[in-house]
A and B are shown apart, each in its own frame.
Chain A
Amino acid sequence: MKHLSEYRDAALVNELVEDIKAITTKPWTIMEVCGGQTHSLVKNGIIDMLPKEITMVHGPGCPVCVTPISIIDEAITLSKKPEVILCSFGDMLRVPGSDRSLLEAKSEGADVRIVYSPLDAVKLAKENPDREVVFFAVGFETTAPANALSVIQADKLGIKNYSILASHVLVPPAMEAILSDPETTVNAFLAAGHVCTIMGIDEYYPIAGKYKVPIVVTGFEPVDLLQGIYMTVRQLEAGESNVENQYVRVVQREGNLLAKDAIDKVFEVSDRDWRGIGNIPSSGWEVNNRYQQYNARKKFNLQPVEVKENKNCIAGEIMKGKKKPFDCPLFAKACNPEHPQGAPMVSSEGSCAAYYHYSNSNLVAENIY
């Protein structure tokens, strides 16, 4: 396929690995923020190809993984109401809440449906005027425009039996939370290409300046990732801390203005709890006043309940880049993709799940067999 096969070209990948080796003289820790990048780095074996001086750590960039248990419980509560059709992306269904998952709720009779797009949920609301359709709106900046568009569309069409349960999180505040931790080991970031497709790259300049870290906006294919790592290492070795854009074929400096308009129209910034990390101020979006009738929390008067995480799970330290999945005593033992104990094991984009599925390191073998 065009713009895909050439970015997976083995000869080019090897050339880039050699280029990175040639300029690397010191140890560096680089964090990729997007779960899609984590998945690609591990699946394609890129982590094992890099020079030993370079450590890739995996940030909190998997939207499914960082959705707090309390919000999953809210979705399950809603799904049990007889009038509700609860729509969700497929990968949210298996994620355990405090006592069950949406999939289990479905097997117990709840009307839970997988949709490909929030716009499909609006259609479903139109076709079922006697039911209440709730879309579980989970995601980073990349997913927010589609979710906003669903609300705008419902409003325009006069559809009143549609609402969203928003769990939107934002990348830059999470990066700041990681960098302001005094024990952080992160020297540089690969910024998430698709988040920047929407938001542009301007919001990263203050972070690069304040914390003196290079930030390179990077794509998802092996050639993209290695080029992003090369650009990052070049800056680190030269003592620079600039924002650069590797993913120019898709990301424009200003982002997608129409998408940003849709977000601004429907959402307002709010504090958010991140599963495994905790509360980060101003790190999410909630439905704003103008569109309150589409806010499922308001419509069904949901009250948030505090839920405790498994205290043996080291997800927070993994997502802050302080530890690797192998360092966790639960990894591949009590915790696996079938029975995840913590955030990064719940979706294939989570770092623990990616290591579980694809890493052929001896450490994994020791843990499993």
Chain B
Amino acid sequence: MKEVNLSMVPEAQVGDYVLVHVGVAISVVDEEEALKTFEYIKQIGELNELNPDEIHSTNQQLKKR
């Protein structure tokens, strides 16, 4: 069992995952954003099956993220 200093993530709640570096938690892992990664990958996979015009517009959407 390791002791972790939570003074730099006061927003952390029981049940949260935190990123710990040398005994100090430095960030709370954002569940929603973690899921978005996989949506992004799905989107770029679909992108490769589109025609060039559609690629451009989807590219614009991805850039806005």
In the complex, whether A168 has a CB less than 8 A from a CB of chain B is no
Contacts of A143 in B (CB 8 A): 21-22
Contacts of A12 in B (CB 8 A): 38, 41
Q: Which residues of B from 1 to 51 have beta carbons under 8 Å from A?
A: 2-3, 5, 7-10, 17, 19, 21-24, 26-27, 29-31, 33-34, 36-38, 40-41, 44-45, 47-48
CA distance A256 to B27 in the complex (A): 7
In the complex, whether A133 has a CB less than 8 A from a CB of chain B is no
Q: Known contacts being A3-B34, A234-B59, A249-B29, is A197 close to B23, with CB within 8 Å? A: no
Q: Interface residue tally of chain B, by bracket?
A: 20 to 34
Task: Report whether B44 and A117 are in contact in the complex, using a CB–CB cutoff of 8 Å.
Answer: no
In the complex, whether A258 has a CB less than 8 A from a CB of chain B is yes
Task: Report whether B24 and A145 are in contact in the complex, using a CB–CB cutoff of 8 Å.
Answer: yes
0/1 string, A236-264, CB within 8 A of B gives 1: 00100010001011111000101100100
CA distance A269 to B16 in the complex (A): 34
Interface of A is mostly: helix
Contact of B19 among A120, A223, A238, A250 (CB under 8 A): A250
Contact of A118 among B10, B23, B36 (CB under 8 A): B23
CA distance A113 to B62 in the complex (A): 49
Least distance between B24 CB and chain A CB atoms (Å): 4
CA distance A346 to B4 in the complex (A): 28
List the count of A-B residue pairs having beta carbons below 8 Å apart. 97
0/1 string, B46-65, CB within 8 A of A gives 1: 01100000000001001100
Contact of A194 among B2, B3, B26, B37 (CB under 8 A): B26
Chain B CB count within 10 A is highest, among A197, A234, A242, A259, for: A259
Task: Report whether B23 and A117 are in contact in the complex, using a CB–CB cutoff of 8 Å.
Answer: yes
Task: Report whether A22 and B29 are in contact in the complex, using a CB–CB cutoff of 8 Å.
Answer: no
Contacts of A142 in B (CB 8 A): 21, 26
Contacts of B41 in A (CB 8 A): 12, 15-16, 19, 223, 227
Chain A CB count within 10 A is highest, among B19, B27, B29, B47, for: B27
Task: Report whether B27 and A248 are in contact in the complex, using a CB–CB cutoff of 8 Å.
Answer: no
Contacts of A117 in B (CB 8 A): 5, 22-24
Task: Report whether B29 and A250 are in contact in the complex, using a CB–CB cutoff of 8 Å.
Answer: yes
Task: Report whether A146 and B44 are in contact in the complex, using a CB–CB cutoff of 8 Å.
Answer: no
Contacts of A251 in B (CB 8 A): 27
In the complex, whether A6 has a CB less than 8 A from a CB of chain B is yes
Q: Write the chain B residue with the least CB distance to A22.
A: B48
CA distance A285 to B58 in the complex (A): 43
Task: Report whether A250 and B21 are in contact in the complex, using a CB–CB cutoff of 8 Å.
Answer: no
Q: Known contacts being A19-B45, A194-B19, A234-B59, is A248 close to B36, with CB within 8 Å? A: yes
Contacts of A354 in B (CB 8 A): none
CA distance A118 to B29 in the complex (A): 23
Contact of A116 among B17, B22, B44, B59 (CB under 8 A): B22
Task: Report whether B30 and A250 are in contact in the complex, using a CB–CB cutoff of 8 Å.
Answer: yes
In the complex, whether A201 has a CB less than 8 A from a CB of chain B is no
Q: Write the chain A residue with the least CB distance to B32.
A: A249
Chain A CB count within 10 A is highest, among B10, B22, B47, for: B22
In the complex, whether A296 has a CB less than 8 A from a CB of chain B is no
Q: Known contacts being A3-B17, A149-B5, A256-B27, is A249 close to B37, with CB within 8 Å? A: yes
Task: Report whether A120 and B48 are in contact in the complex, using a CB–CB cutoff of 8 Å.
Answer: no
Contacts of A198 in B (CB 8 A): 26
Q: Write the chain B residue with the least CB distance to A251.
A: B27
In the complex, whether A89 has a CB less than 8 A from a CB of chain B is yes
Q: Write the chain A residue with the least CB distance to B55.
A: A23
0/1 string, A202-216, CB within 8 A of B gives 1: 000000000000000
A-B complex: 8 closest residue pairs judged by Cβ atoms: A117-B23, A249-B34, A249-B33, A146-B24, A248-B33, A258-B8, A22-B48, A146-B22
List chain B positions with a Cβ less than 8 A from chain A: 2-3, 5, 7-10, 17, 19, 21-24, 26-27, 29-31, 33-34, 36-38, 40-41, 44-45, 47-48, 59, 62-63
